[in-house]
Chains A and B, each alone.
Chain A
């Protein structure tokens, strides 16, 4: 009798466990499952999960399963392996500089196709962002998380140094001056930090109207040569070198985490950051954080910034039903409501301008008007080939190469030579790729 009881208890327990498991995997309902690969971590991950959950609860036909696949670089390597096979996710979040590869891969369906089929109103999406992902009049992917670079600064330290926190520096010489004052007035603080993350170099080049590669930044034909070792490229390096000599430039290598903790612990006064980490900084800083436009040389007019971040791609070879379901989710992600949530909780800005009318944004802008600076900087951008950003399959590799040139800068090597070497390496890589891809 006792034994029977025990058996019964075990049976009950295991059935509870089993049903709990199936409850987690949602294998038992009839919803279409959409696998969504992304690279969001930290606060953006929380924000993303909330949006996905909202979507899953808003209807009962589609279930979206988000899967973190490591950094953008790591996930791109994975997608390259599985793209076009049954293991490919329905939706894949690709970094801006992976776009060219994605377009040419043959493993994706341009979202334009579904937009046309469903008469989706494309004009509700921000035009500058659409431009980035449009080639030959076709929109290839759904914009989702777009960011630009900004300068974040410690407004309290500005006050201490006798600088006006409401009038942040704009030009190279103003930044250099401010960095000096910050370093002097705040013990243990360096005025400025420039992370070895070549995206910032690309942006500082674009703000001057400089192109990164030839063929109009690879927008009107296949790029064959790097052009970032121009006078404009040199301007950036010279300016950083000057601040280095002043002793006002902090060097955190490639570690963005170390840099932000340096900023939060008041070891750095100003640094170049992605607008996507604004929300996190506002929340965690024990001082007031200001947001400024990225610096430009004194004698060059500001052209604007290139859109960074990532977009959502539809995999090819899935059933029409899954394709439609995936697109339904994309539409939701691009909706004003989702984009407003996303904007406020991360600092990526709305790819759908309709979001600016959402109450949550209006309320938040009153509380933290700094958010608006990033948006304004983006809207002030003049649309040129430079500010539309370089289009090249080899962009990830060129970043590895540029990262070395920035190391050279910090190690005191000849600036023009470092840039030329980097350009040579990019040119070699382009030549080799063209050879390998001819067949």
Chain B
């Protein structure tokens, strides 16, 4: 914060100047604001204004052009919490988070541990494992659309080889959310892998050397050195994946369109439909506000409970 500390300039305040103007007193704040100005302007235009505008719109009904017309107070929110569809959408979102976040962190940790070994040609595998980072959501979804295709898809051919009956991955309400989750985990892998690998390589090698001298085995080292030293990285990955999972849109739009039977209608997709198909900006804005609060709460909880276990060097 802007604390006023006359000694911070390094000069002893002159006794001849007992009185300073307000302008002079607030000098540090002025300088700070000047430096912050570019980001303040950008944030105001692209974050703060839309945020407040959304909160404002959530209290209104909007007409067919999306302009607010009738003030309804908290009606939009009340209606949402009474609507089975919206509650289902929240449930689906949480399920989706549950399916994707732990799985992508665990799998990418596993891959990173493998790729961290010093072997010949390991760079090839590192590149392969990180490659989904370079694939856009749209391209990945279309590829998976082919994989999931009920008639010609690779996946169904594979399972029918083992005598399992064909599964209608994207049209069967029991499988659709799982199918979208698989796609998402695959998409997340590249990024998580790369960050975790970076974290692994930052761990001081002398720790391993000295523990080896003490006779520690691989798994003991993993548990006592690698995971604790990696915990800041893992925490970062978890937080980022969590927020990403809450905001998933592209895969849903391309793979299922929120169907079948609402089972993959995640919140952001529900918001999109209400806003841009139904042109119901009031309701959509209320959903946005709820999503915002949910992410805020979950992230705060994460910082409160999970971060305690994080070991910062």
Contact = CB atoms under 8 A, between A and B. Distances in A.
**A and B bind:** yes
A435 B70 contact: yes
Contact of B277 (A73, A251, A265, A408): A73
B207 to A, nearest CB: 52
B69 A439 contact: yes
A396 B278 contact: yes
Contact of A396 (B69, B145, B277): B277
Contacts of B150: 252, 258, 262
Interface string B253-272: 00011011110000000000
8 contacts: A74-B276, A80-B65, A252-B168, A253-B260, A254-B171, A254-B257, A258-B150, A439-B69
A80 B259 CA distance: 26
B273 A400 contact: yes
A253 B171 contact: yes
Interface residues of A, number: 39
Contact of A404 (B261, B278, B282): B261
B262 A105 contact: no
A420 interface: no
Nearest to A267: B151
What's the dominant secondary structure at chain B's contact region? loop
Contacts of B199: none
A73 B253 CA distance: 13
Contacts of A429: 278, 280
Given A80-B65, A407-B261, A411-B260, A255 B276 contact: no
Contacts of B168: 251-253
A366 B94 CA distance: 58
Which are the 7 A-B pairs with shortest beta-carbon distances? A253-B171, A436-B61, A407-B261, A77-B276, A397-B278, A439-B69, A262-B151
Interface string B8-39: 00000000000000000000000000000000
Interface string B101-120: 00000000000000000000
Contacts of A261: 149, 151-152
B99 interface: no
B260 A407 contact: yes
Interface size class of B (residues with CB under 8 A): 20 to 34
B173 interface: yes
A370 B262 CA distance: 38
Nearest to B169: A253
Given A74-B276, A437-B63, 15 more contacts: A73-B277, A77-B277, A77-B279, A105-B65, A251-B171, A253-B259, A254-B257, A258-B150, A394-B278, A400-B273, A407-B261, A410-B171, A411-B260, A436-B62, A438-B70
Interface string A66-88: 00000001100100110000000
A75 to B, nearest CB: 11
A394 B152 CA distance: 37
What's the dominant secondary structure at chain A's contact region? helix
B64 interface: yes
Contacts of B282: 436
Contact of B170 (A105, A253, A396, A438): A253
A407 B259 contact: yes
Contacts of B171: 251-255, 410
B69 A436 contact: yes
Nearest to A413: B261
Interface in A236-271: 251-255, 257-258, 261-262, 265, 267
Interface in B112-147: 145
A432 interface: yes
A187 B173 CA distance: 26
A133 to B, nearest CB: 19
Contacts of B262: 404, 407
B232 interface: no
Contacts of B279: 77, 80, 397
Contacts of B228: none
Interface string B149-183: 11110000000000000001011010000000000
A254 B172 CA distance: 11
B125 to A, nearest CB: 34
